[in-house]
Amino acid sequence: MERLQYDVVDVFTDTAFAGNPLAVVQGADGLDTRQLQAIAREFHLSETAFPLEPSEAEAAGGATYALRIFTPDTELPFAGHPSIGTAWLLAQQGRVAPGTIVQACGAGLLPLTVSPDGGPVELTGGTPTSGPPLDAEEHLSLLGLGRAHLDDVAPPLIVGTGIPFVVLPVRASALNECRPDTNGLREVHRRLHTNGVYVVALDLEAQAVRARMFAGDIGIVEDPATGSAALALGVWLASSGLVPGDGDHGVTIEQGLEMGRASVLRLRVVTEDGSAVRCLVAGQAVHVASGSIRVPE
């Protein structure tokens, strides 16, 4: 019976059984999409990643490897914690060298910087995108919150660097009071073509953020650490004028506390003329499990 090797790493933490767990399955180059989705459904983590040999075109563009990423229900063009966790694991296994590597994925060719000796990995997101302001009422209601929970420092926006999120600023007390309407969120995110709502409580003086991410139609309700949403937050901060218009700005994000999966994400936002031109997110990882899984027929 054919089997594939897998590892499970916890990402955006240096403590086992915290952060966001990720299954990385290697040797899956010959499998089709249906088989990859079946494996991801079996693990039933927020994401399962499959590092593959790059195509000739991807390799010609500088790709070190290709990465396909699946939630239990669907394939994503890009995601943060699978990108960082896979690069960290491959470096630990000696499959990639420390320094700058390039991942090919549905969002294009994305650079990652791998620290030596098991240190953090930093991911550069794709092209920043930002939409017009949204009325907060719909998302507040679907999260069991009201207007009094909103932080009116800036309006919600649909933003992203490869996949879009709604960024919704709230008062810190609101984070513990979220009671998401899963079906309602699924419907609104299908309509808006977003992957979830990133609920953020800001302390910009301390360059710190507390966050929760409630997913759209991807097979999970809440994610304990979301690198792609952190990158989207960088775009929102710049678009909202909450970081200086020119420079390289750092923010520390804590996520997953309410789930018992404490996570720390290090966001950098590079701005020019008031807009985000590049967003990067970094995090640590720790290995927790390995084994083999049967190849679906």
**Hey, which residues are catalytic here?**
47
Dist. CA 38–CA 79, nearest whole Å: 19
* 125 and 115 Cβ atoms separated by less than 8 Å: no
* 21 and 8 Cβ atoms separated by less than 8 Å: yes
Beta-sheet strands, E only, within 12-136: 20-25, 47-52, 65-70, 75-76, 99-105, 108-114, 121-124, 129-133
DSSP 8-state assignment for residue 175 = G
CB burial string 150-166: b at 16+ within 10 A, e below: beeebbbbbbbbbbbbb
* 102 and 111 Cβ atoms separated by less than 8 Å: yes
Dist. CA 243–CA 237, nearest whole Å: 6
Dist. CA 247–CA 243, nearest whole Å: 9
Three-class secondary structure of residue 69 per DSSP: strand
Residues 6+ apart with CB under 8 A from 37: 70, 74, 75
Three-class secondary structure of residue 80 per DSSP: helix
